[in-house]
Structure 1
Amino acid sequence: MWMAHFVKRNRLLRPDRLALADPNRKLTWREFDDRTDALACALLDRGIEKGQRIAISARSRVEVLELYVAGGKAGIVVCPVNPSFPAPEVEHIVRNVEPVAVFAEQQIFDRLGDAFGDGFRVAIGSEEYEELTTTKVRELPLPRQDDVFAILHTSATTGHAKGVAVTHRSVSACYTAMAAEVGFSADDVMINPCPLFHGSVVIGLALFAAGGALVLETEFTPQRWLADVAEYRATKTFLVPSMARFVLKAKAFATADLSSLKDIMFGGAPMPEELLRECLEKFPAPMRCIYGITEGGGPIATHLFRRGEWPFDVAGTVLPTAGRMLPGYHIEVQDDSGNVVPTGDVGEICVRGDGMMLLYWRNTEATAKAVRNGWLRTGDVGYADEDGFLFLVDRRNDVLIRGGQNVYPAEIERVLATQPGVLDVAVVGAPNAEWGEVPVAFIAAGDEPPTVADLIGACARELASYKRPTAVHFVDEIPRNGAGKLLRRVLRDRLAAEAEAKQAAAKETAGAASGAQGAAGSAGAADAAGPASAAGAAGGTGAAGSGQA
């Protein structure tokens, strides 16, 4: 079995080389193999059977990877849980996967109480956990390639997270593809500041399986990342775009030693063009886009951007490519009927290959909707050129329809993100009586924020009139999850709450006006109703820090 094989192989070839590290512990390949063998036997000795599930909830640390590998060695299914999830979301996952054991940091147990259900519990980092890693080793069962290895939950950007069941075949196929395309080797050291509870864990496992050293960061700060790159002489790393922006703005960046870096991977969220250009100018290594989806097993396409190379200028609009398909994957752009669209036409990006998920756990309806004739429908809208390069336009569910015309929020966001003073941006659709939906922008700004007029003016210069935001809201930060993905539903909920509050205020004003009419006559009623009517006509939210266009 590949999970046990790569650990044993690396132990034989480099027993005393660094395998895994976090801020509190460093393990050689010999130590890692011993601990995961013992942990696998301890799970079986506790009565956990092959195919049963264990839940893991912790920040990125050595023990999380130990549990992944131990579960893989024992044929036990690993179910990582986002440590920042609230109790209702954890309860939803627990009801779905029914874990017989839960491993979590003590502070997570303390915060979530009974949300993890009735399975036996072990606090990660406790004496009890350490005792499990010294269990007497015996022969382990041999999982099959098509056995479920893990249930990785989606980002829950639009609702409850769905459990993505990936097999040993899926993970090993993705590892093989990444190793072949990216060139992972035993000489690599990778700094990973990203969480380990979704599909991005496969990138770390791919480097790990190749024999390289994986350095985990429990919490990301630009200062810690810069220090780790220098200390470990890191050759590779993975950053979401917001992390890259923070690193470039850090005071320590100017004097940091980043000379060892050879490949900076990025993904998890769209990379603004201006930020990508800045990264290429200031980082000493090329930038590698990783386009992936948890349901696809992780990464499915990649492209390496080098300084001075910017070959993609489509119809006068520069749009960074998401790359070309990884080995072992096949990608098509299809219409709603499953037909391949002509080169350059927009459709839904679909993928198939050994790396894709087996199914959504206990959700046949969602599985049937996502997988059609062997093709996984990613939900991403985009197009491909004649050379097979993918270009992402937006998420299918994020497209809003204004007066019968499709509006892609990502297109508006790209324009706004390039404006001076804009740190982060999100665009969502707001209900509108006349047009159905209209785009509304949320802006997180720096010390010198732009004006609403500046932002709307930039959109007027570059976008058709129906694509321009009808309102701009300035916020402290744009809501994103641990993977850096935008939580548009949070912003939609805010707009809905503001609209509800406005309606309530209008009713209250109308009621006050009606009461005043009897006392002061119709003229007073007109004065009272006038401002409310004007606000309704303008579509204003009345929220501080907002502007109408």
Structure 2
Amino acid sequence: MDTLTFQAFLFNNINKYDHQPALTCVETRETITYRQLRNVVEATANQLIRIGIKVGTHVAIVIPNSIENVVYNLAVSRCGATVIPLNDKLGVREVEFILRDSEPQVIIMATEKHVNSVLEYQKETGKKSVTVIGLPGFGIDYPDEIQTIHLDDKPVSMAFPAAEMDDLAAISYTGGTTGTPKGVMHSQRGFGASLMASCMEYPYDDQDKVLFCTPLIHSAGVLLQRSLVSGCHIYIMKNFHPEVFLQTVQEARITSTFIVPTIIYRLIDEAKTKSYDVSSLRNINYGSSPISAARLKEAFEIFGPIFRQQYGMTECSILISRLTKSDHLWAYENDHEVLKSCGKPCMMTQIRLIDENGDDVEAQTPGEIAVKIPSLSVGYYKRPDLTVEAYRDGWLFTGDIGKLDDHGYLHIVERKKDMIISGGFNVYPAEVERIVNQHPAAAMSACIGIPHHDWGEAVCIFVVLRKGETCTKQELIEFCKGRTSDYMVPKEVYFKTDLPLTTVGKIDKKELRKPFWEGTARLVN
């Protein structure tokens, strides 16, 4: 076994710990030790191998935040198979697309709203070709077509398949401008490098207690894996509630967490109404979207100078740049503009800013951010066209436009790609427009992101109604709620008689953005 694969690095380190607590579910208070975790993962992997999972098998997992989420993801990796992690909060249409695109032979699920989509995929593909496993304990009455298996923590003595460096560890789906997600392929080599790089960036040990409240399939999942290899005690919240979060920090003496700015704002508001002892916290890692400098100042006053911001992408396993705790403190005392930056390159990362001709730009000049990193993914699944466009000579061209300030900090000023980040989630404007345009009163629409103090950016839709038709803002919002994910539902709706067009007849979204972004230094928030 090559010790540098993701599979080997992960399990060689998890196996070092025995009696220390590994996972605690905050809501149920259920706790398992590292020995119990190892036993249940290997027993589960044994069950999965019996049903045919092996190296190279595509296994889709859609399980809410829970101990089971961690166990089944680890078990699939123990088999050397390819994990396809799905956010349980995804809309039905998104899940249906990802299943058809990624072609899993096995689906492990614990979400009732996706049962019909999974069964339809199984029917289309052929029942004998796709095995669907439904997890008990999530209050779901599964139909006969779905198998159920139970967790077992009895020790298993068997040799598990060893993955090779070029085998795919995961296919993670991320947003794009076309309205359909893209499958980012992570090799065992790249995912292993990502895990090692995370260990360098996040200096945790077996005395740390790390709290997770955001979906584990996003950036939180990378930090969770990093925490496991150091023997940390991991606390998992099924859903975020500010009061429960702060009570858990106080009672369990949490030392570290990962959150997004929207959650920081909720915690600030809660901490202003009730006193909590948060003195145990040493690290608050945040990312997925920038943070308001004014609100970060409030956060400092409550939690202290313990914030670390990360800038990353699924394609890079989140490890592009970091604004350290010292950076935050220096910026707070000397230059608040630096708080709007995403820091400086991570230890194993190289960054270039490129103009349209592929040349490096001069200082203070905006350019597309290009990244070279050992943990770089190997391309987009079944999309060689997008792979060739984004991956060039070992560099990933991110589509983000950035510039360096006088201190060498990287600032993102706008996006080359038409995408919105709202509350840490990627929103594809084309998809929002597709949903809105299905409304019988809508003739055409245009979606943009606008500044929002809580969400970073809010989804805003401009709608031209059909002649003689009427529609209200609330009616349109309710229409969207029934057809797409909650975070893609417009927060603001404007009805227009027409939409501005460019010289070639396309909707001029820059013109639509102008009134909302006037006086700001950048076109993202």
Shorter-normalised TM-score: what interval?
A: 0.7 to 0.9
Alpha-carbon distance in 1 for matches of 2:219, 2:304: 27
Is the radius of gyration larger for structure 1 or structure 2?
1
- Preserved contact between residue 178 and residue 184 of structure 1 (Cα < 8 Å): no
**1:458 aligned partner:** none
Moved more, 188-197 or 131-140: 131-140
1:61 matched residue in structure 2: 66
1:67 is paired with a residue whose SS is: helix
For the 8 Å contact 1:291–1:299, the answer to whether it is kept is: yes
Counterpart for residue 39 of structure 2: 34
Match of 1:270 among 286, 290, 302: 290
List aligned pairs for 1:66-85, cutoff 5 A: 66-85=71-90
Q: What amino acid maps onto 1:122 in structure 2?
A: I
Distance 2:173 2:455 in 1: 29
**Structure 1 unaligned blocks of 5 or more:** 401-408, 433-474, 504-538, 541-545
How far apart, in 1, do the equivalents of 2:193 and 2:329 lie? 33
Distance in 2, matches of 1:483 and 1:339, equals 39
| 1:16 alignment counterpart | 19
Cα contact 1:300–1:326 (8 A) shared by 2: yes
Q: Taking every aligned residue pair, what percent have the same amino acid on both sides?
A: 25
Corresponding position: 1:193 with 2:213: yes
Q: How does 1:321-332 map to 2 (within 5 A)?
A: 321-332=341-352
- For 1:124, which of 120, 124, 135 is the aligned residue? 135
The partner residue of 1:282 within 302, 321, 334 is 302
C-alpha displacement of 1:387: 5.2
Shift of 1:265: 0.6
Q: Which amino acid in the other structure matches residue 374 of structure 1? A: G
Q: Return the alpha-carbon distance in structure 2 between the equivalents of residues 423 and 49 of structure 1.
A: 41
Q: How far apart in 2 are the matches of 1:370 and 1:132?
A: 43
Pairing partner for 1:309 from 313, 323, 330: 330
| TM superposition score normalised by structure 2 | 0.74
Q: CA deviation at 1:50?
A: 1.3
**Do 1:38 and 1:137's aligned partners in 2 also have CA atoms closer than 8 Å?**
no
Distance 1:92 1:110 in 2: 14
- Residue 39 of structure 1 contacts residue 135 of structure 1 at CA under 8 Å; is this kept in 2? no
The one-letter code sitting in structure 2 at the alignment partner of 1:376 is L
Against the structure 1 CA distance between its residues 431 and 110, is the aligned structure 2 distance closer, same or farther, given a 3 Å change threshold? closer
Q: Deviations over 1:431-484 (max 9, x none)?
A: 99xxxxxxxxxxxxxxxxxxxxxxxxxxxxxxxxxxxxxxxxxx99xx9xx999
Paired with 1:253 and 1:233, the residues of 2 have a C-alpha distance of 21
Is residue 312–residue 321 contact of structure 1 (8 Å, CA) maintained in 2? no
Aligned match for 2:7, one of 3, 14, 36: 3
1:351–1:376 CA contact under 8 A, matched in 2 = yes
Please state how far the C-alpha of 1:4 moved relative to its aligned partner: 4.3
Partner of 2:439: none
After superposition, give the CA deviation of every residue in 1:237-268 in whole Å (9 maximum; x if it has no partner).
01101101011111686321211100101111
| Alignment partner, residue 395 of structure 1 | 415
The letter for the 2-side match of 1:96 is: D
- Looking at both structures, which has the greater relative contact order when contacts are Cα pairs under 8 Å and sequence separation is at least 6? 2
The offset of 1:231, in angstroms, is 2.6
2:392 corresponds to: 372
Segments of structure 2 that go 5 or more residues without pairing to the other structure are: 138-146, 421-447, 465-476, 499-510, 517-525
Report which stretch shifted further, 155-164 or 340-349.
155-164
Task: Give me the whole-angstrom Cα distance separating, in 2, the residues matched to 1:151 and 1:160.
Answer: 15
1:161 is displaced (CA, Å) by 1.0
How far apart, in 2, do the equivalents of 1:59 and 1:105 lie?
Answer: 7
Q: Which amino acid aligns with 1:325?
A: P
- State the Cα RMSD in Å: 3.6
CA distance in 2, matches of 1:483, 1:194: 16
Paired with 2:371 and 2:224, the residues of 1 have a C-alpha distance of 22
Tell whether the 8 Å contact from 1:41 to 1:135 is kept in structure 2 after alignment.
Answer: no
> Does residue 1:360 correspond to 2:389, yes or no?
no
Q: Deviations over 1:284-309 (max 9, x none)?
A: 35110011100112232111245753
Distance 1:156-1:483 versus aligned 2 partners, 3 A rule: farther
C-alpha distance in structure 1 between counterparts of 2:342 and 2:84, whole Å = 29
Q: CA deviation at 1:132?
A: 6.1
Q: How far 1:122 moved relative to its partner?
A: 1.6
Query: Would you tell me which structure has more helix in proportion to its own residues?
Result: 1
1:139 matches 2:155: no
* AA partner of residue 310 (structure 2): I
8 Å Cα contact 1:171/1:202 also seen in 2:
no
Residue 257 of structure 2: SS of its match in structure 1? Answer: strand
Give the 3 Å change call, closer, same or farther, for CA 86–167 of structure 1 in structure 2: same
- What are the equivalent positions in structure 2 for 1:215-364 lying under 5 Å apart? 215-250=235-270, 254-305=274-325, 308-310=329-331, 320-364=340-384
Say if 1:204 and 1:270 are closer, same or farther in 2 by CA, change over 3 A.
same
Separation in 2, partners of 1:317, 1:19: 40
> C-alpha offsets along residues 11-58 of structure 1, whole Å, 9 cap, x if unaligned?
43x311011222343221101111111222221111123101111112
* TM-score normalised by length of structure 1: 0.71
Matched with 1:90 is: 95
Given that 2:13 and 2:229 are in contact with CA atoms closer than 8 Å, whether structure 1 keeps it comes out as: no
Decide whether the 8 Å contact of 2:348 with 2:374 is kept in 1. Answer: yes
Summarize the Cα distance change of 1:96–1:186 in structure 2 as closer, same or farther, 3 Å threshold: same
Q: Any conservation in 1 of the 2:14–2:38 contact (CA below 8 Å)? A: no
Distance in structure 1 (CA, Å) of the matches to 2:111 and 2:394? 42
Structure 1 residue 361 displacement after superposition = 0.9
Measure, in 1, the Cα distance between the counterparts of 2:116 and 2:333. 48
What SS does structure 2 have at the residue aligned with 1:397? coil
Change (3 A) 1:94 1:352: same
